[in-house]
Amino acid sequence: MSKCIFLDRDGVLNEDRTDYVYRVEDFIIPTGVVEGLRMLKNAGYLLIVVTNQAGIARGLYSRTDVMRCHQYLQDQCGNLIDDIYYCPHHPDFDSQSLLRKPDSLMLEKAIAKYNIDVSQSWMIGDAPRDIQAGKRVGVRTVHITHKIPELPVGDQQAPNLLEASKMVVNAAC
pLDDT at residue 95 tops 80: no
Q: 18-69 pLDDT, tens per residue?
A: 889 999 999 999 999 999 999 999 999 999 999 999 989 888 999 999 999 9
Query: Rounded distance, CA 119 to CA 121, Å?
Result: 6
For 140-165, what is the mean pLDDT?
A: 86
Domains of the chain as residue ranges with CATH = 4-172 (3.40.50.1000)
Mean pLDDT value across the chain: 93
Percent of the chain with pLDDT strictly greater than 90: 80
The mean per-residue pLDDT over the stretch 60-85 comes to 96
Helices and strands per DSSP (H, E), number in the chain: 6, 6
Do 156 and 135 form a contact (C-beta atoms < 8 A)?
A: no
pLDDT of the residue at 140: 97
What are the distances in angstroms from CA 87 to CA 28, 30, 107?
21, 23, 11
Q: Give the catalytic positions in this structure.
A: 8, 10
User: Is the full-model pTM beyond 0.75?
Assistant: yes
Tens-place pLDDT, residues 104-116? 999 999 999 999 9
